[in-house]
Amino acid sequence: MRTYDYDGSGKERELVASAHTLMVYEQQFKSGLIEDVFGRISLAGHENDIDRNGNLVVADYTIDNWGAYIKALWAMLKAASDLARAEGRPYDQIPPFSEWSIKATNLDMSEVSAIVVTECQRGLFRAGAAASEDKTSEEG
């Protein structure tokens, strides 16, 4: 679990990517977090954007769904708040998205996109692999 100060208050708030995060996102936005954040990337037709070593040399920011990063950040904050409440830990009540977004004045989109993608990979795609590795090492 990581933290982020989204409103410039200096207060770091926990965020988490989990199954609950996916549900919170889908209930609020009527679409899927993974599809919205990761989408589909195709380099077909972009041969001129790749150098002779195979490196992508042009970044097209129209490919990213920047609004989805903000919505995913909110869902992760909300899920972490719900988890803390369920575990009996202190928590910040995360307001509804429309109210929260008004106060989210300290967003650096490069930072937000990195946090969202990294937390999704850690919480949604690597947790199962890590658990499998642990189980394998225990059996071996």
| pTM, to two decimals | 0.75
Distance CA(33)–CA(78), nearest Å, equals 14
- Split at pLDDT 50, 70, 90, the class of 121 is very high
List the structure tokens of 126.
């690597």
Domain-located, residue 91: yes
Domain-located, residue 99: yes
Q: Is the pLDDT of residue 12 over 80?
A: yes
Q: Is the pLDDT of residue 133 over 70?
A: no
List the structure tokens of 102.
């008004």
Q: Output 93-96 pairs: Cβ under 8 A, ≥24 positions apart.
A: 94/13
Domain-located, residue 115: yes
Domain-located, residue 135: no
Total domains in the chain come to: 1
Domain-located, residue 136: no
- Domain span at residue 51 reads 2-130
**CB-count exposure of residue 53 (10 Å: 0-12, 13-18, 19+):** exposed
Domain-located, residue 6: yes
Domain-located, residue 36: yes
More confident residue, 1 or 116: 116
Domain-located, residue 140: no
User: Which residues contact residue 31 at a Cβ distance below 8 angstroms, ignoring those fewer than 6 apart?
Assistant: 25
Contact 31, 129 (CB under 8 A): no
Phi first, then psi: give them for residue 38, nearest 5 degrees. Answer: -90, -30
> Three-state DSSP class for 136?
helix
For the stretch 67-82, pLDDT in tens is 999 999 999 999 999 9
Among residues of the chain, what percentage have pLDDT more than 70? 76
